[in-house]
């Protein structure tokens, strides 16, 4: 090796050429080194005995613990169902719901949850490349299965959201049937949108706008903190506002619970219409006896039936039509559509500085036409999706109206199997003793 500065004055042409070639290679490798992962500066050879520290790679929560979560869910569902159906003890259900709040809420930080699992399952059905974790499927299915057998015991003592709101419901007020019906439409809208966005691979809105997860983590954004605060404060007067008027999973539980095999009953034996339980339910979920002296005439019933038969399809089509008009607005949440909008905006007014998304897209070298065609495909999905969503919502509105028109005769006080959370508050108000028909305590 010759030292630098000691080169002979005249360099042979052949050597010069080789030198040039080497330089070229060096420059090229320097250019591509980022791709190849080559170092610009070689690793030094230390003389002072310096020991290189190791790069720490902390591991994630082990998969075994996820199975433990599922086991705890199964045990919780079984225990609460037993407490509700067999023990009929409000106190024990309350204490168990505190455990659920601590475990599924503050320890697991509200994630994994059955409410959000709706989206994973939807995405799993519509996107063949998406792999749904088996624990998420379990969290989606198990509460539904238990509800089919025992009513909404999941809401009573397993769901941490319900437990949290139950803690603050000090002065529950009655809202009235009409208010309950109107506000009760919100979960259907939320569920419909969540399914639409999950099916079109756009967003998981249930997780994004989850009010309580931020509280469980002591780390909420300001907006979500306000939302959660508003829910909890209104929860003092309106018991469980999230569960009744927002929760999209509650819609599914409501449907399934209507056909539940065994459901919580207010009285252990026969109702004596003593009216003691009338005001016991903070959720307006007790159906009162309906007895009228003059039942509807046959012609009035027929007229109502025809009206309903016309109303329901009308609302369904109206809903579908209306929602399909706003499918472009709905689609803005999708990233591909958003990127297309950004690209169009930058090409329209060139004065504004372009966003990083646009810059990245331009440097990626993908043709713009590809993004446009992808976005228009998404728009088409949204068009179909918004028709389905709108029809669904219209149908729900129609059926809600129809339900309010129909007279359902009842003689006893019974919990509404759909909206009852099986919290067992009403049980303590019933004076009838078990296995002792009609005898008061």
Partner 1 sequence: MNRRRFLTTGIRASILAGIGGAGAMVASKAGAEQLVWQLDPAKCLQCGRCATDCVLTPSAVKCVHVYAMCGYCDLCGGYFKPDTKTLTTAAENQLCPTSALKRKFVEDPFFEYTIDEPLCIGCGKCVKGCSSFGNGSLQLQVRHDRCVNCNQCSIARNCPADAFSRVPLSKPYLLKQVNEESQAAELTGKKGSSDE
Two tokens, residue 37: 């992962």
> Using CB under 8 A, which of the segments 30-38, 71-79, 304-312, 390-398 binds partner 1?
30-38
Task: Identify residues 336-375 at the interface with partner 1 (CB under 8 A).
Answer: 356-357, 359-361
114 vs 169, beta carbon nearer partner 1: 114
Task: Judge whether 118 and 194 are in contact, CB under 8 Å.
Answer: yes
Residue 264: helix, strand or coil by DSSP?
A: coil
Structure-derived torsion over alpha carbons of residues 257, 261, 265, 271, reported in degrees to the nearest 10: 120
CA distance 41 to 164: 56
Q: What is the 3-state composition of the chain as percent helix, strand, coil, each rounded to the nearest 5?
A: 60, 0, 35
Residue 145 binds to partner 1 (criterion: CB under 8 A): yes
> Using CB under 8 A, which of the segments 54-62, 156-164, 293-301, 317-325 binds partner 1?
54-62
Q: Give the interface size with partner 1 as a residue count (CB under 8 A).
A: 77
CB of 192 to partner 1, least distance (A): 17
Q: Give the x-and-dash track for 414-433 against partner 1 (CB under 8 A).
A: --------------------
- Kindly give the residue spans of alpha helices, DSSP state H, lying in 37-152: 63-82, 90-100, 114-126, 134-150
Residue 9 binds to partner 1 (criterion: CB under 8 A): no
* Closest C-alpha to 414, from 273, 318, 299, 295: 273
State the burial class of residue 72 (Cβ atoms within 10 Å of its Cβ: 0-12, 13-18, 19+).
Answer: middle
> Using CB under 8 A, which of the segments 144-152, 271-279, 391-399, 419-427 binds partner 1?
144-152
261 vs 297, beta carbon nearer partner 1: 261
CB of 425 to partner 1, least distance (A): 26
Task: Identify residues 61-100 at the interface with partner 1 (CB under 8 A).
Answer: 61-63, 66
Task: Identify residues 168-227 at the interface with partner 1 (CB under 8 A).
Answer: 203-204, 207-208, 213, 217, 219
Query: Of these, 81, 97, 100, 120, which contacts partner 1 (CB under 8 A)?
Result: 120
* Three-state secondary structure string covering 34-54: HHHCCCCCCCCCCCCCCCCCC
Task: Identify residues 94-113 at the interface with partner 1 (CB under 8 A).
Answer: 109, 111
């Amino acid at each position: 090796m010759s030292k630098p500065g000691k080169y002979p004055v005249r360099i042979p042409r052949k050597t010069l050429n080789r030198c040039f070639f080497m330089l070229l290679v060096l420059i090229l490798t320097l250019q591509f080194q980022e791709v190849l992962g080559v170092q610009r500066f070689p690793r030094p050879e230390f003389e002072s005995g310096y020991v290189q520290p190791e790069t720490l790679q902390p591991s994630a929560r082990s998969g075994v613990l996820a199975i433990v979560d599922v086991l705890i869910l199964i045990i919780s569902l079984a225990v609460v169902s037993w407490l509700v159906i067999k023990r009929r003890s409000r106190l024990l259900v309350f204490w168990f719901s505190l455990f659920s709040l601590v475990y599924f809420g503050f320890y697991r930080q509200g994630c994994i949850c059955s409410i959000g699992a709706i989206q994973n399952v939807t995405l799993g059905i519509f996107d063949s490349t998406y792999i749904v974790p088996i624990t998420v499927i379990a969290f989606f299915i198990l509460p539904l299965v238990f509800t089919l057998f025992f009513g909404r015991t999941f809401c009573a003592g397993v769901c941490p959201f319900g437990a949290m709101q139950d803690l603050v419901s000090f002065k529950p007020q009655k809202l009235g049937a009409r208010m309950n019906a109107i506000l009760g439409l919100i979960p259907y809208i939320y569920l419909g949108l969540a399914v639409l966005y999950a099916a079109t691979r756009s967003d998981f809105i249930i997780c994004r706008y989850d009010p309580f997860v931020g509280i469980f983590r002591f780390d909420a954004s300001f907006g979500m903190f306000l939302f959660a605060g508003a829910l909890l404060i209104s929860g003092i007067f309106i018991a469980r506002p999230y569960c009744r008027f927002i929760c999209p999973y509650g819609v599914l539980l409501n449907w399934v619970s209507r056909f539940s095999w065994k459901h919580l009953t207010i009285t252990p034996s026969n109702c004596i219409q003593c009216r003691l339980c009338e005001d016991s339910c903070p959720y307006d979920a007790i159906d009162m006896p309906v007895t009228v002296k003059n039942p509807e005439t046959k012609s009035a019933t027929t007229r109502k039936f025809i009206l309903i038969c016309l109303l329901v399809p009308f609302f369904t089509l109206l809903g579908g039509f209306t929602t399909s008009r706003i499918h472009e607005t709905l689609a803005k949440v999708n990233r591909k559509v958003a990127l297309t909008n950004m690209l169009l905006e930058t090409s329209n007014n060139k004065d504004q500085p372009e966003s990083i998304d646009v810059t990245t897209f331009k440097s990626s070298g993908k043709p713009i036409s590809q993004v446009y065609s992808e976005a228009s495909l998404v728009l088409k999905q949204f068009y179909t999706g918004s028709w389905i969503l709108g029809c669904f919502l219209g149908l729900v509105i129609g059926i809600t109206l129809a339900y309010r028109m129909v007279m359902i005769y009842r003689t006893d006080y019974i919990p509404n199997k759909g909206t009852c959370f099986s919290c067992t508050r009403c049980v303590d108000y019933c004076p009838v003793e078990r296995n002792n028909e009609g005898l008061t305590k």
